[in-house]
């Protein structure tokens, strides 16, 4: 029986809590700097498990289940996925590893389970005519309108809520700790930024309703371009504006603009994609110019880095400055992860793994003290020189 044939339909209750995550962080025996604070309370591992890479087959399903199981029992309490990853198979693979970890005594309330939505989940493989599939399975079934589509991305309240439910059911949990709208900027070339903001406004209401209903605990936005580019780039999105949208959505749902649940952003960041730290393209709540990481801190948003190893390139190709600064590290993958986890303002760096042996590199870094602030900043000064 494959992992996708799981018959246990009971949903696991709970969501990440301060008490359980702090107990977990103490029990795992990793370096104290390995854990970041979400909203000053919940302890989240500075390296999390990404589940995008790998073929859509049983062998990779089993590998991801093994990685999730070992990671969760070893101190990595953040797992990131999306409804469409590996045609939905990553969700079931995570569920298998999660249940093994819970059977080994890991507390569900110590874990942060995050999914994303927007891109259509094609069944098994990309169909020969994706648009015909979207017409039949999304538009005809009332999950979105044609104007809600940008290629294979559908940004509508019904589609996002359906992908929340898909994620919850496949993972086997009552509550997702966070659900992110994935790459909404792909709609800008199709319908313009004003139309995108209108779509996000309605989707944020749906996300606030999902929080109210207990389906998710928090929500946010994952982007490839929008938080890294300059302010005059067409794909740029302002964090302060997104927070304001969330406030308006919360007021509609709960009557309180201040009590919104927009809490997480995700963007690429690594030793060659530095814009989140080095480009001052955001405005904080106080009106000051800041980088995305700085603005997120000021706005009480938790920052997650995708592309921690730049799709594996940083594990195979050395970055000279990192080699010089960290000669004692065993390989380039470890240096790249150490760079990311030492970045001020960055909460969790995701590493996409589909080979269990690679998990040892992640755990080795998690046992290591962070670079000091001065040592980290010196890396930028070396680059400038």
C-alpha to C-alpha distance for 122 and 126, rounded to whole angstroms: 6
C-alpha to C-alpha distance for 249 and 227, rounded to whole angstroms: 21
Backbone angles phi, psi at 253, to 5 degrees: -85, -40
| Inter-residue contact 186 to 151 (CB < 8 Å) | yes
Q: What is the pLDDT of residue 1?
A: 42
C-alpha to C-alpha distance for 13 and 331, rounded to whole angstroms: 40
347's CB contacts (< 8 A; 6+ apart) are 36, 38, 44, 46, 302, 303, 304
53's CB contacts (< 8 A; 6+ apart) are 311, 352, 353, 354
Q: Which residues pair with 173 in a beta bridge?
A: 12
Pairing of strands 35-38, 178-182: unpaired
Specify the DSSP class assigned to residue 327.
T
Q: Which residues pair with 222 in a beta bridge?
A: 182, 266
For 30, 56, 98, the CA distances from 69, given in Å and listed in that order, are 17, 19, 6
Spans in the chain with pLDDT lower than 50 = 1
Backbone angles phi, psi at 149, to 5 degrees: -105, 140
N-to-C CA span, the chain: 58
- Tell me the whole-structure pTM to 2 decimals: 0.95
Handedness of CA 316, 322, 328, 334 (dihedral sign): negative
| Inter-residue contact 160 to 148 (CB < 8 Å) | no
Q: Which residues pair with 150 in a beta bridge?
A: 153
Give me the helix-helix angle, 58-74 and 359-366, nearest 10°: 10
């Amino acid at each position: 029986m494959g992992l996708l044939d799981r018959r246990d339909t009971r949903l696991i209750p709970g969501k990440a809590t301060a008490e359980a995550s702090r107990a977990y962080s103490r029990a795992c025996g990793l370096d104290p700097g390995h854990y970041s604070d979400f909203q000053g309370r919940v302890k989240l591992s500075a390296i999390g498990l990404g589940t995008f890479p790998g073929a859509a087959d049983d062998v990779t399903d089993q590998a991801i289940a093994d990685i999730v199981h070992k990671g969760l029992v070893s101190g990595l309490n953040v797992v990131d996925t999306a409804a469409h990853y590996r045609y939905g198979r990553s969700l079931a693979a995570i569920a298998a590893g999660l249940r093994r970890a819970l059977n080994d005594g890991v507390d569900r309330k110590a874990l942060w389970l995050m999914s994303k939505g927007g891109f259509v989940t094609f069944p098994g493989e990309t169909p020969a005519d994706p648009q015909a599939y979207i017409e039949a399975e999304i538009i005809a079934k009332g999950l979105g309108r044609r104007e809600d589509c940008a290629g294979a991305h559908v940004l509508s309240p019904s589609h996002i809520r359906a992908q929340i439910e898909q994620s919850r059911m496949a993972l086997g949990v009552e509550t997702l700790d966070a659900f992110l709208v994935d790459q909404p900027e792909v709609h800008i070339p199709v319908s313009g930024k004003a139309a995108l903001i209108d779509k996000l406004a309605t989707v944020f209401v749906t996300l606030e309703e999902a929080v109210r209903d207990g389906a998710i605990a928090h929500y946010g936005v994952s982007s490839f371009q929008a938080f890294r580019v300059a302010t005059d780039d067409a794909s740029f999105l302002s964090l302060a504006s997104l927070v304001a949208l969330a406030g308006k959505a919360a007021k509609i749902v709960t009557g309180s603009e201040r009590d919104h649940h927009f809490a997480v952003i995700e963007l690429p960041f690594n030793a060659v994609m530095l814009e989140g730290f080095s480009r001052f393209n955001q405005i904080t709540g106080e009106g000051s110019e800041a980088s995305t990481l700085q603005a997120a801190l000021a706005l009480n948003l938790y920052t997650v880095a995708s592309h921690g190893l730049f799709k594996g390139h940083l594990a195979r190709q050395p970055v000279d400055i990192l080699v010089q600064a960290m000669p004692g590290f065993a390989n380039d993958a470890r240096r790249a992860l150490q760079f990311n986890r030492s970045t001020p303002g960055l909460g969790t760096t995701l590493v996409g793994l589909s080979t269990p042996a690679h998990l040892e590199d992640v755990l080795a870094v998690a046992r290591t003290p962070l670079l000091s602030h001065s040592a980290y900043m010196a890396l930028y000064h070396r680059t400038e020189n």
